[in-house]
Structure 1
Amino acid sequence: MISNTLHADIDNWTLTTPAARSTRGVVASQHRVAARAGAAQLDAGGNAIDAIVATAYALNAVEPWMCGLGGAGFMVIWLAKEKRAVALDFQGTLPGGIRLEDYPVDPERPRTPMGFPGVIDNANIEGYRSITVPGAVAGLDHALSRFGSRSRREVMTPAIQLAERGLFVDWFTSLQIGVCARTLARDPVSAAIYLPGGHPATPESRLKIPRLAETLDDIAEGGAESFYRGALAEKIVADLQAGGSRISCDDFAAYEVFEYAPMAAEHRGYTLYTPGEVSGGLRQREMLAHTLKAMPTPPETPTAESWLAYAEALEACWRQHKIRNGVLAPTDGHTDGHTDGENGACTSSMSSVDAEGNMVALTYTLLNRFGSGVTLPSTGMLMNDSVSYFDPRPGYPTTMAGGKRINSSNMCPTVAVKADEARFSVGASGGNLIMPAVTQVAALMMDFDMSVETAVHHPRLDASFRGSIRVDPRFDPATLSRLGERFALEIAQQTVFPKLYACVSAVARDPLSGECTGLNDPTQPVGGGAAPAPFEIESLGDAGPVVRP
């Protein structure tokens, strides 16, 4: 049955987005300028790893609210010559000196995006005590040094140039700032940058993030060693401790990247590689297994029964996930009703492929939009709020503990391989929405032989064992009716904000023609794919006055 209607038919346009195509490789990102920074590495002779690292660093300057130096995440790499996949875990870690008493539960506050209790003063999602040791720089530096082909300086030059130029404010940027204005106002540095005059920055201006370009330049020179054990580490930790964080220099020095063989899931002749049980990968594997059992031989095109199989599979894997995380009892046959963190508010995902067939999926995040809301004064780094990944109550699998690493995430960067050739890479942003969106796009390509462009544009549903499922009204009436027989439905249009079906980035490569295709979700007005071309900062335009804190 239809239980309620949200955002149904409120925008009177059809959202589509163009795909980038090239036999020399492509990059897809939530910001097309960052994708161009990555594609420039391909144009200069670099590989897919060079491209993804350049894209990730460039996002610090053009999409700082989603990810950056103060964040953490996962990467999956397909190495074409070696015919093997590699996963990198560069998730954040809690301070060694963290104390549960710093996070007293407040039953009046809403749950965190991960479903854990809120605490007094939002200390686990806002401000200095919500910050974990960030893994992003370690992860990007590890990927580049192990599998890239260009120097750190070459790969990071576009990001440095963009940071020196400043963040160009369009209407979408103003929206991101406005949504988080209250959190940003709590931190004087962030408020000075993003709320000039006490109000969200207006379109046609440019925001200069103080010392961000210098910090990126320092990383280009000294890499992860300086960031975690050198002069940069000292500056970062001094700022953190001055703001009340318990993170120490020892915590930074102890940080390490985990490189390992990724989790594999077999589906209709494909092998899908993900970062495994600490990511959304286990739920993806479980969802595909349920789908295969319910739909052993798919029809030529998706039917109402196909979508019922997808919805039931998502419900089943999410129920198991909530049991594993301790937010649902094994004997509980109903949802916990949790719906927080489901508006696509966080994270950035990007994918790349080169002419040799190397392929990468990278997802990294500050967790919430603008993370903790804290910008460190000495480095210009916007910091995560990943303490909210942990339970503030004792005795649970994800309970806070000194030095503990994030061990449960929705991020699900995926590389799909068939006959020893990487065929497509897909990832998404959007909290609880990520795994359902990524897995549906992948399933449509594998079950129905859709192109990546068709699959990304296809209507999606969202299900996470919460008492109802959300469906796009673009589904045909027969599908809506069949789903309504089994579930309470929320009919919700796909919109720019809130993003109710995640924000997908994907690339694909045809092994016969060598043509590569890349695109970002049609709901992301600043996203896009990019084909190899030189990166020219002058061509980006420079409209509007510079707003300096």
Structure 2
Amino acid sequence: MRNFERPGRSAAYGTRGMAATSAPLATLAAIDTLRAGGNAADAAVVASAVLCVVEPAMTGVGGDCFALVGTPDGKVSGLNASGRSGLAADSEWLKASGLAEIAIRSIHAITVPGAIDGWAELLRKFGTMDLAEALKPAIRMAEEGVPVTPRVAWDWPEDTPFLEADAGGRVHCLKDGRTPKVGEIMHYPALARSMRLIGKEGRDAFYKGAIAEDIVATVRAKGSLLTMDDFAAHQSTWVKPISTEFMGHEVLEIPPSGQGLTALIAMNIVSQIGLRRHAPDSVERHHIEIEAMKIAWELRNRHIADPDFHEVPVDELLSAKTAQRLAAMIDMNRALDIDTAMRNSDTIYLSVVDEKRLAVSFINSVYDGFGSCVVTPKTGIALQNRGACFVTDPGHPNCIGPRKRPLHTIIPAMVKKDGLVDMSYGVMGGDYQPMGHLTVAVNRYVYGMDPQEAIDWARYFPKAGKVQVESTVPEHVKDGLMAKGHALVAPPWPLGGGQAIAIDRENGVLVGGSDPRKDGFALGY
């Protein structure tokens, strides 16, 4: 239990329903949906659409989404609603382009946005609403305006120069041509019109109608390969989750092209070594997690790609034999010399559980801040730059190719116990996400923390040959890690942001947590 004399927040408790998001208005919209008779799938789409308005740098209808949906009987379905590259992105084009990489702001980093089709699929299979109803709160907020909250205002200036350089960005994503300040009201009339059209005509308005025409015309004028046919061909994919056993629980993730496999590999390594003999704030605990994640990262970058083009050896990578071999690489006295290249990204994650215990673990992203910072002039949509996760080595499974999904960083998670959903959770933050999934799982299932405590925990992250440690990591841990050879640096911003809802079946209670690194909260009723 937390010390009530120190700053912090208690976990949220409720019995009938709960939502946890990174923005207050989104959490309230989800709860309003549940209280009005909607279910968790409805509330997740409602909240995601609202987040496109209140956290526009992090997410948008021009991005992708993934979801894990757990039904009351314990069956979990996965949704991969990520977009693909253009059909013309073939080997001949790549060779002729001379590209050494798909740069973060390259026009070729823009892939077909998958979010809208994902929302429609989630509602079709599990919801009770249609898109028109689910988008109403977001449309109203986009028209009437929303205040800029503190974390949103803190993130915005980094992207302002890129928005200033784009005609649509200047009009739709700045206030009088400048970065908005905390508390100022932002309006998004063009986005509201686009959402209203999607509500009226369905997902085809985005992929076959006027919105697709505006997107394609905008990006092709800048050299993109995307066509109307690429948009018309897009569809989401329902997938079977992958999983591993961790501390008597089954942890589930979306399979490749998502990077959830990375978190499961790290959990398997940690399970081989064991943490219970080490205190939660011990040097040993931190060292083991950091080393496990370094190893998992190397395997991620080597193997994860679009399974339609490359068979990822999931079973082999999650086998006990592999876990034993990888765990043996960890020296408790010395840091491994592994330097893994990573990029940053911006994302929202949310979780909703309803009265019937339908649970939705949901994540939506435009990848970098405001995605590509290319914003459609008529429809006001910031387009993602997820294609920057491709590589350009023709021999690599994640090389860009025709209508191919890139390795994807956004990963929802879900945990089962005795065949039923025990927790719906996720930690946003691009490449940090598998580390966040590992740390929260360790906090919850090794050390018995409630969801809020597990999320609040000070964070650490191996990146580019160094270990980023938040300022709240204890000094004795920092000293101990440096003594083992870890080079420590301060992260440029807080590491990730997460939400979690645990289902306490014994007491019939939902227990939620939401990250203090963001503006939102968990709320139950």
2:144 aligned residue: 165
Q: CA deviation at 1:302?
A: 5.6
1:412 aligned residue: 411
Cα deviation, 1:277-299, whole Å, max 9, x if unaligned, reads 32222111111111111017556
1:35 aligned residue: 27
Query: Counterparts of 2:272 and 2:55 in 1: how far apart (Å)?
Result: 41
Query: Counterparts of 1:102 and 1:353 in 2: how far apart (Å)?
Result: 50
Say if 1:52 and 1:370 are closer, same or farther in 2 by CA, change over 3 A: same
| Paired residues of 1:239 and 1:378 also in contact (CA < 8 A) | no
Query: Counterparts of 1:299 and 1:334 in 2: how far apart (Å)?
Result: 24
How many residues matched?
Answer: 490
Say if 1:299 and 1:199 are closer, same or farther in 2 by CA, change over 3 A: closer
Q: Report SS of the residue matched to 1:484.
A: helix
Indicate which of 482, 486, 502 corresponds to 1:508.
Answer: 502
1:150 aligned residue: 129
1:521 aligned residue: 515
Q: CA deviation at 1:273?
A: 1.1
Query: Counterparts of 1:142 and 1:514 in 2: how far apart (Å)?
Result: 30
Say if 1:325 and 1:419 are closer, same or farther in 2 by CA, change over 3 A: closer
1:61 aligned residue: 53
1:256 aligned residue: 235
1:110 aligned residue: none
Say if 1:181 and 1:104 are closer, same or farther in 2 by CA, change over 3 A: farther
1:483 aligned residue: 481
Say if 1:314 and 1:130 are closer, same or farther in 2 by CA, change over 3 A: closer
Say if 1:340 and 1:387 are closer, same or farther in 2 by CA, change over 3 A: closer
| 1:279 maps to amino acid | G
| Paired residues of 1:80 and 1:356 also in contact (CA < 8 A) | yes
Query: Counterparts of 2:220 and 2:174 in 1: how far apart (Å)?
Result: 25
Q: CA deviation at 1:225?
A: 2.7
The share of aligned pairs that are identical, in percent, is 26
| Paired residues of 1:160 and 1:217 also in contact (CA < 8 A) | yes
| TM-score between the two structures when normalised by the length of structure 2 | 0.86
Q: CA deviation at 1:339?
A: 5.3
> Would you say 1:238 and 2:217 are equivalent positions?
yes
| 2:445 maps to amino acid | M
> Would you say 1:378 and 2:373 are equivalent positions?
no
Q: Report SS of the residue matched to 1:180.
A: helix
Q: CA deviation at 1:128?
A: 4.2
| Paired residues of 2:297 and 2:340 also in contact (CA < 8 A) | no
Say if 1:102 and 1:147 are closer, same or farther in 2 by CA, change over 3 A: farther
Q: CA deviation at 1:503?
A: 1.1
Say if 1:101 and 1:435 are closer, same or farther in 2 by CA, change over 3 A: same
| 2:437 maps to amino acid | V
Q: CA deviation at 1:478?
A: 4.7
| Paired residues of 1:215 and 1:379 also in contact (CA < 8 A) | yes
| 2:72 maps to amino acid | A
1:6 aligned residue: none
> Would you say 1:498 and 2:493 are equivalent positions?
yes
Cα deviation, 1:157-212, whole Å, max 9, x if unaligned, reads 11111111124234544333311111111211211233444432234432222321
| Paired residues of 1:393 and 1:399 also in contact (CA < 8 A) | yes
| 2:457 maps to amino acid | H
Indicate which of 255, 267, 285 corresponds to 2:264.
Answer: 285
Say if 1:155 and 1:405 are closer, same or farther in 2 by CA, change over 3 A: same
| Paired residues of 1:304 and 1:482 also in contact (CA < 8 A) | yes
Q: CA deviation at 1:363?
A: 1.5
| 1:355 maps to amino acid | E
Indicate which of 64, 77, 83 corresponds to 1:72.
Answer: 64
**Runs of 4+, deviation exceeding 6 Å:** none
| Paired residues of 1:32 and 1:530 also in contact (CA < 8 A) | no
Say if 1:61 and 1:18 are closer, same or farther in 2 by CA, change over 3 A: farther
Q: Report SS of the residue matched to 2:517.
A: coil
Indicate which of 278, 288, 303 corresponds to 1:324.
Answer: 303
1:90 aligned residue: 81
Cα deviation, 1:290-348, whole Å, max 9, x if unaligned, reads 1111017556756433333222211221222233369xxx99x843463542xxx4111
Mapping of residues 335-374 of structure 1, within 5 Å = 335-336=338-339, 338=341, 340-341=343-344, 345-374=345-374
Query: Counterparts of 1:391 and 1:244 in 2: how far apart (Å)?
Result: 19
Query: Counterparts of 2:223 and 2:280 in 1: how far apart (Å)?
Result: 56
Q: CA deviation at 1:365?
A: 1.1
* More divergent stretch after superposition (205-214 vs 317-326): 317-326
| 2:341 maps to amino acid | H
Q: CA deviation at 1:231?
A: 4.2
| Paired residues of 2:435 and 2:461 also in contact (CA < 8 A) | yes
Cα deviation, 1:486-523, whole Å, max 9, x if unaligned, reads 33141538xxx612x21112222211222212232111
| Paired residues of 2:478 and 2:488 also in contact (CA < 8 A) | no
Say if 1:471 and 1:236 are closer, same or farther in 2 by CA, change over 3 A: closer
Query: Counterparts of 2:99 and 2:229 in 1: how far apart (Å)?
Result: 28
Query: Counterparts of 2:502 and 2:512 in 1: how far apart (Å)?
Result: 6
Query: Counterparts of 2:347 and 2:285 in 1: how far apart (Å)?
Result: 29
Indicate which of 15, 18, 22 corresponds to 2:14.
Answer: 22
Query: Counterparts of 1:71 and 1:140 in 2: how far apart (Å)?
Result: 11
Query: Counterparts of 1:471 and 1:174 in 2: how far apart (Å)?
Result: 23
Mapping of residues 396-545 of structure 1, within 5 Å = 396-406=396-406, 408-464=407-463, 466-490=464-488, 492=490, 498-499=493-494, 501-524=495-518, 526-531=519-524
Query: Counterparts of 1:323 and 1:231 in 2: how far apart (Å)?
Result: 40
| Paired residues of 1:390 and 1:399 also in contact (CA < 8 A) | yes
Say if 1:487 and 1:35 are closer, same or farther in 2 by CA, change over 3 A: farther
Cα deviation, 1:97-150, whole Å, max 9, x if unaligned, reads 2332685447xxxxxxxxxx4x6xxxx432644311010001111011101123
| Paired residues of 1:86 and 1:262 also in contact (CA < 8 A) | yes
Q: CA deviation at 1:475?
A: 4.0
The Cα RMSD (Å) is 2.7
| Paired residues of 1:52 and 1:350 also in contact (CA < 8 A) | yes
| Paired residues of 2:259 and 2:304 also in contact (CA < 8 A) | no
| TM-score between the two structures when normalised by the length of structure 1 | 0.83
Q: Report SS of the residue matched to 2:157.
A: helix
Q: Report SS of the residue matched to 2:435.
A: helix
1:274 aligned residue: 253
Query: Counterparts of 1:522 and 1:441 in 2: how far apart (Å)?
Result: 14
> Would you say 1:48 and 2:40 are equivalent positions?
yes
Cα deviation, 1:223-257, whole Å, max 9, x if unaligned, reads 22332234443343334334433211110111111
| Paired residues of 1:438 and 1:504 also in contact (CA < 8 A) | no
Q: CA deviation at 1:72?
A: 0.7
Unaligned runs of 5+ in 1: 1-12, 107-116, 533-549
Query: Counterparts of 1:440 and 1:355 in 2: how far apart (Å)?
Result: 28
Say if 1:297 and 1:126 are closer, same or farther in 2 by CA, change over 3 A: closer
Query: Counterparts of 1:325 and 1:139 in 2: how far apart (Å)?
Result: 21
> Would you say 1:185 and 2:164 are equivalent positions?
yes
Q: Report SS of the residue matched to 1:444.
A: helix
